[in-house]
């Protein structure tokens, strides 16, 4: 018995985004949501868990939470991966793990206390860190 039903082929998943493409997506999202004092740290040769670390501030817990939620939504919409987010709903310090890019979002006073940039050697010129102009 022969049927005339079409054969469906599953769509191939999109190619994963490169670390630089994920970084571009993160930068655009942080810029759109008015994140402050954005610093990008190149982790090449420093660790195996990510290629870049991004540190940024929000003006308040509500602003930090909003930045994190929108970033998570945009990463999911890219179809590349599901980010892992820690630190909500308190939102003093929120971590968004986007695979090759790890994003730390802080309230300014919490960021000053933990000073991740210094911990990762990003406070010195020529160490692979860059401050993104606002």
- Residue 11 has a pLDDT of 64
Distance CA 134, CA 106 (A): 17
CATH number at residue 38: 3.30.460.10
Check pLDDT > 70 for residue 62. Answer: yes
Higher pLDDT, 3 or 94: 94
The pLDDT value recorded for residue 112 is 94
Q: Mean pLDDT, to the nearest integer, of 58-64?
A: 97
pLDDT over 50 at 6, yes or no:
yes
Q: Which residue has the tokens 């420093």?
A: 46
In a domain, 7, yes or no: no
Query: Does residue 35 surpass a pLDDT of 50?
Result: yes
Would residue 11 count as lying in a domain? no
Question: What integer pLDDT is reported at residue 46 of this predicted model?
Answer: 85
Helical pair 61-77 and 19-32, crossing angle rounded to 10 deg = 140
CA angle 18, 20, 59 (to 5 degrees): 125
Whether 3 is in a domain gets the answer no
Structure tokens at 11: 């769509």
φ, ψ of residue 30 to 5 degrees: the values are -65, -40
Per-residue model confidence as pLDDT tens digits over 74-129: 999 988 678 999 999 899 999 999 999 999 999 999 999 999 988 887 654 445 55
Q: Given a cut of 60, is residue 67 above it in pLDDT?
A: yes
Indicate the number of domains in the chain: 1
Mind listing the pLDDT tens digit for each residue in 12-32?
666 788 999 999 999 999 999
Q: pLDDT higher for 46 or 22?
A: 22
H helices present in 54-107, as ranges: 61-77
pLDDT at 7 exceeding the cut of 70: no
Q: What's the confidence (pLDDT) of residue 124? A: 43
| Domain of 121, in residue numbers | 19-131
Q: Count CB-CB contacts under 10 A for residue 74.
A: 17
Give dist(CA 129, CA 118) in Å, integer. 11
């Amino acid at each position: 018995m022969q049927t005339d039903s079409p054969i469906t082929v599953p769509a191939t998943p999109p190619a994963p985004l490169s670390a630089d493409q994920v970084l571009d997506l993160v930068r655009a999202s942080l810029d759109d949501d008015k994140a402050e004092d954005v610093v990008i740290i190149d982790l090449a040769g420093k660790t195996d868990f990510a290629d870049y670390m991004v540190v940024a501030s929000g003006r308040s817990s509500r602003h930090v939470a909003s930045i994190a939620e929108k970033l998570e939504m945009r990463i999911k919409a890219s179809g590349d991966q599901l980010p892992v987010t820690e630190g909500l709903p308190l939102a003093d310090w929120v971590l968004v793990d986007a695979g090759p890019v790890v994003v730390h979002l802080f309230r300014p006073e919490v960021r000053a206390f933990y000073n991740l940039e210094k911990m990762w050697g990003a406070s010195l010129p020529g160490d692979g860190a860059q401050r993104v102009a606002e």
